[in-house]
Amino acid sequence: MNHKRHHTLIEQIAEKIGLIPNLHQETETPLDRLTEPGHLTNFPPPEKWDDWVEYEAKDWPRLSKKHYTIVPTTCFNCEAACGLTAFIDKETGQVRKFEGNPYHPASRGRNCAKGPATINQITDPDRILYPMKRKGERGEGQWERVSWDEALDDIAARIRKALLEKRNNEVVYHVGRPGHEGYMDRVLQSWNVDGHNSHTNICSSGARFGYSIWYGYDRPSPDHANADFIFLISAHLESGHYFNPHAQRIIEAKMKGAKLAVLDPRLSNTASMSDYWMPSYPGTEAAVLLAIAKILLDEGLYNRAYMEKWVNWQDYLKKMHPGVDVTFENYILKMQEEYQEFTPEFAEKESGVKATMIVDVARQIGKAGERFSTHNWRSASSGNLGGWAVSRCLHFLNVLTGSVGTVGGTSPSAWNKIKPKFFDTPPAQTFWNELHFPKEYPLAFFEPSFLLPHFLKEGRGRMEVYFTRVFNPVWTYPDGFTWIEALSSEQMIGMHIALTPTWNETAFWADYVLPMGLASERHDLNSYETHSGVWIAFRQPVLREAARRNGKPVTFTYEANPGEVWEEDEFWIELSWRIDPDGSLGIRKHFLSPYRPGEKINVDEYYQYIFENIAGLPEAARNARPDGTRLHEAVWRF
Amino acid sequence: MLTKAISAGAFLVPFLSLVSGAAQPGLNNVWWGLGLALVFLGATGALLVKDLDRPDRFLNVLLRPQWGSWLVRGGYAISVYGALVALNGLFLLLNIRVLEMALIWVTAIAAVIVAIYTAFLFAQAKGRDFWQSPALSLHMLVHSVMAGAAAFGILSFFQDAQADWTRFLITVLIAGLSVNLFTIILEIVTPHPTVDAKAVVKMIVKGRYRRLFWFGVMAFGNILPLVLLSAAGSEPMVLAASGLVVLIGIYLTEHIWVEAPQRIPLV
């Protein structure tokens, strides 16, 4: 195929005499082509990242060259942490655009719209650029700019006083989007506070519970790419955890011939791509799943070898059917009896999904056997009373087909995730905070955080220092007005600090609004079960890395970021030192450099230690950079 | 499209009278014809440029030509026609008789292309089923001849015209209106092959354009001038009024023919 466009005589003459812009001018030194014409290169090759030159689109038709330094980071606009590359204009020192990072193992350079949109966030004219302290009453909307030092000293003094007075339970950190691996648990343990609260109970804890009671892991890791049959509850092509890495792999599998079934009342984008759209009435998912289970049992489509080995069928028979011989055949008979009411016709009546389709899907699942991947996260599990049974019934199908931990099956989350080794692990807390885990809810799976303001109103406790971090309960929780009541009371909450990259309704009720970085302005470690594989990714403040490459390293990230936008990692180190200025509380010792004895750890050392202790990573980095670049330098760069 | 039709028709109508020998337009009318052709061609060009998303880049259409597109071919047709009309004026002014007939014939062919190229441009919009009709070019050519005759009809009110020229105009208008009515009815009653084209016909005949179509196009724009011209066309006042009504009728027809097919969702 000829990709050269014919340059007509008319065009040549018109360009020569200046009637139309000259698009065929030669520059003194044109940019090298990366490939032959007709072939495409999706990404700048990494060896050119330090000085990437491309023509400036805005100068059209002039061929002017723009020099960039390209710094990798990860997205912070959902939990998946897909790879981004920041294009930093060498002239202005500003981030000009974001593209996908082709070397990110989960996203592989393909991002959803939220990734490149980070540029809108960092240049948002209304963003908070400096630490703000409230003036007047809480919630009055009056703010004054303060320095990081003032804010740190004030907050540290409050926490120190609470700890000295054994009011450890009055220090609370409440997180919406974590986006890191274990950082905060370590900090809270070092303070000896049981201070972690999360948003999980209005989110995924229903599904997590259903999975957890099967095998102790609270999340699935479906290997969609290698599956023959994929079963999704809700719209995992466009929403939910890791939808972008999942979507790529689901479509890959479909292109190899896999079939996709989607149980979703909506004709979502995912449902529209499915081979079997099963629009069930909300809350009836479990009936459909159990009808499928019944067909697998009745038609002998289960995986006998797997079940004999991994299911405690002997215990089941002995306990539930004491008079029956303990044989696998009897177990199957009893299971068939157990599920006999869940006929496809019953499921159709309950759910509205046609019985014939249920039978067809069940047989396809049976045929796929070990190559059967499934996923349920929020939707049906969080939207219905007893929603945990949805993920439980779904995983039942994986158990019946023996597709647990197989190629193309569904693995436990932790199989595809790295747990970092820290330079220091403080002992467990000696306190139990009943505002988070009240004793009358012993089976609560994650903190019943939606009850927190009600507990405060009942007088079960108070919070002297309350951090909300990328967390906006006034807007996202049911009953936001109760949150406003609690947040506006200094009796219930002594000091509220909102750690946030953006203004939000909860930050409005804070004493301090402390601006924390967006995707390209912060350090974090990411490792998630996006596919069958273990990976680790590094989120980093790209302007800080650019400054380092430029030979002008900074001490703190806020020196490189826009305004004085900071990041939590360094904030917690500084705050912890100020809570324990003389080391007498035993906190400071957990924030000492593993490389410079007696001195305060810095954020580079924190990650250097982790990277050095990840099996295989130092070798991989050496191979990638045979010129002897230090490990963490290789990570910064690539 | 109306200005384009007038421009092409202003040349074609005197041309037809000459070659058919039906009437002598007279030098005065020939000058008027050339003038109207150039003025309305200029107006057409201005409207076309204004209609582009990026008018500032209109030169790219002509000077970075994509020869496969009727937008480009049409642009060149307009330019060439303009140049030929101007050359006719020059020949007339300097009384050059060499190759005079050849020039007139070539200009007439250019006028026909200017009149009908839009039909080919529309046909390139493959998603617009109603525009795929082969009758579209005939429809535009007839409009052009009608528009030219209508313009001269209005003009004849303001100056003394020869009787045979006026008769010729009336004949052309009546013939044009008849053919026009015939093609419109053909478009409506012929079974269209696609659902979208059927939907457009329904929209015109029974839907949102029904009043505009039946009262504006059919009754007012075609039947009324047909009746007036048949009854009392030789009255200068009637001829001029009919000319005006015909032009309005053409405008309304083109409005519907351009807009209605685009109201069909492409997905």
The residue-averaged pLDDT of A495-522 equals: 96
> Which chain A residue has the Cα nearest residue B60?
A20
Average pLDDT taken over every residue of chain B: 92
> Which chain A residue has the Cα nearest residue B57?
A20
Identical topology for domains A132-195+429-516 and A205-416: no
CATH code for the domain defined by A132-195+429-516: 3.40.50.740
B66 to chain A, any CB pair closer than 8 A? The answer is: no
Cβ-defined contact of A11 to B65 (cutoff 8 Å): yes
Total CB pairs under 8 A between chain A and B: 18
In the predicted structure, residue A630 carries a pLDDT above the cut 70: no
In the predicted structure, residue B139 carries a pLDDT above the cut 70: yes
> Which chain A residue has the Cα nearest residue B58?
A20
**How many Cβ atoms are within 10 Å of A206's Cβ, its own excluded?**
29
**Residue B145, H or E segment:** helix B135-158
Kindly report, residue by residue over B56-104, the tens digit of the pLDDT: 888 988 999 999 999 999 999 999 999 999 999 999 999 888 888 899 9
Kindly report, residue by residue over B165-196, the tens digit of the pLDDT: 899 999 999 999 999 999 999 889 988 889 99
B76 to chain A, any CB pair closer than 8 A? The answer is: no
Kindly state the percentage of chain A with pLDDT values over 70.
96
What per-residue confidence (pLDDT) applies to A638? 65
3-class DSSP string for B38-83: HHHHHHHHHHHHHHCCCHHHHHHHHHCCCCCCHHHHHHHHHHHHHH
Which of A627, A631, A630 lies closest to A617 in space, CA to CA? A631
Of A49-63, A206-220, A342-356, the poorest mean pLDDT is in A49-63
Contact A396, A361 (CB under 8 A): no
Residue with tokens 């050392």, as numbered in its chain: A605
Residue with tokens 């974001």, as numbered in its chain: A98
A11 to chain B, any CB pair closer than 8 A? The answer is: yes
Kindly state the percentage of chain A with pLDDT values over 90.
85
CA of A7 vs chain B CAs: smallest distance (Å): 8
Angle, nearest 10°, between helix axes B163-189 and B236-259?
Answer: 30
Residue with tokens 């002992």, as numbered in its chain: A427
Which of A261, A516, A274 lies closest to A394 in space, CA to CA? A261
Q: How many CA atoms lie within 13 A of A366 on its CB side?
A: 18
Kindly report, residue by residue over A99-112, the tens digit of the pLDDT: 999 999 999 999 99
A5 to chain B, any CB pair closer than 8 A? The answer is: no
The residue-averaged pLDDT of A326-349 equals: 98
Report helix, strand or coil for A112: coil
Cβ-defined contact of A10 to B63 (cutoff 8 Å): yes
Which of A5, A6, A8, A17 is the best mutation test for B, with the most CBs of B within 10 A? A8
As beta bridge partners, residue A498 has A468, A513
Q: Please, which pLDDT band fits residue A636 given cuts at 50, 70 and 90?
A: low
Cβ-defined contact of A19 to B63 (cutoff 8 Å): yes
3-class DSSP string for A159-197: HHHHHHCCCHHHEEEEECCCCCCCHHHHHHHHHCCCCEE
Of A36-40, A319-323, B109-113, the poorest mean pLDDT is in A36-40
Kindly report, residue by residue over A458-493, the tens digit of the pLDDT: 999 999 999 999 999 999 999 999 999 999 999 999
Superfamily of domain A205-416: Dimethylsulfoxide Reductase, domain 2 (3.40.228.10)
Q: How many CA atoms lie within 13 A of A455 on its CB side?
A: 19
Report helix, strand or coil for A70: strand
Contact A498, A137 (CB under 8 A): no
Which of A554, A556, A555 lies closest to A546 in space, CA to CA? A554
In the predicted structure, residue B126 carries a pLDDT above the cut 60: yes
B63 to chain A, any CB pair closer than 8 A? The answer is: yes
What per-residue confidence (pLDDT) applies to A42? 80
Q: Please, which pLDDT band fits residue A27 given cuts at 50, 70 and 90?
A: low
- Taking the C-alpha atoms of residue B1 and residue B47, their distance in angstroms, rounded to an integer, is 9
A210 residue type, one letter: G
In the predicted structure, residue A628 carries a pLDDT above the cut 60: no
Q: Please, which pLDDT band fits residue A1 given cuts at 50, 70 and 90?
A: very low
3-class DSSP string for A384-420: CCCCHHHHHHHHHHHHHHCCECCCCCEEEHHHHCCCC
- Taking the C-alpha atoms of residue A559 and residue B215, their distance in angstroms, rounded to an integer, is 74
CA of A19 vs chain B CAs: smallest distance (Å): 8
The residue-averaged pLDDT of A412-419 equals: 92
Q: Where are the beta strands (DSSP E) in A399-477?
A: 410-412, 463-469
Q: Which residues of A touch B65 (CB under 8 A)?
A: 8, 10-11
Q: Which residues contact A114 (CB under 8 A, 6 or more apart)?
A: A75, A77, A78
- Taking the C-alpha atoms of residue B23 and residue B15, their distance in angstroms, rounded to an integer, is 10
Report helix, strand or coil for A373: strand
CA of A4 vs chain B CAs: smallest distance (Å): 14
B173-176 own/partner pairs: CB under 8 Å, 24+ apart: B173/B146, B173/B149, B173/B225, B173/B229, B173/B233, B173/B242, B173/B243, B173/B246, B174/B226, B174/B229, B174/B230, B174/B233, B176/B142, B176/B145, B176/B146, B176/B149
Exposure string over A479-499, b if 16+ CB within 10 A, otherwise e: ebebbbbbbbbeebbbbbbbb
The residue-averaged pLDDT of A300-325 equals: 97
Separation of first and last alpha carbons in chain B: 28
What per-residue confidence (pLDDT) applies to B144? 96
Which of B60, B63, B67, B76 is the best mutation test for A, with the most CBs of A within 10 A? B63
What per-residue confidence (pLDDT) applies to A4? 58
Domains of chain B: 2-263 (1.20.1630.10)
What per-residue confidence (pLDDT) applies to A28? 67
Cβ-defined contact of B65 to A14 (cutoff 8 Å): no
Domain boundaries, chain A: 132-195+429-516, 205-416, 604-638
Average pLDDT taken over every residue of chain A: 94
**How many Cβ atoms are within 10 Å of A58's Cβ, its own excluded?**
8
Exposure string over A173-196, b if 16+ CB within 10 A, otherwise e: bbbbebbbbebbbbbbbbbbbbbb
Which of A12, A16, A19 is the best mutation test for B, with the most CBs of B within 10 A? A19
The residue-averaged pLDDT of A221-227 equals: 97
Task: Tell me phi and psi for residue A29, to 5 degrees.
Answer: -130, 90
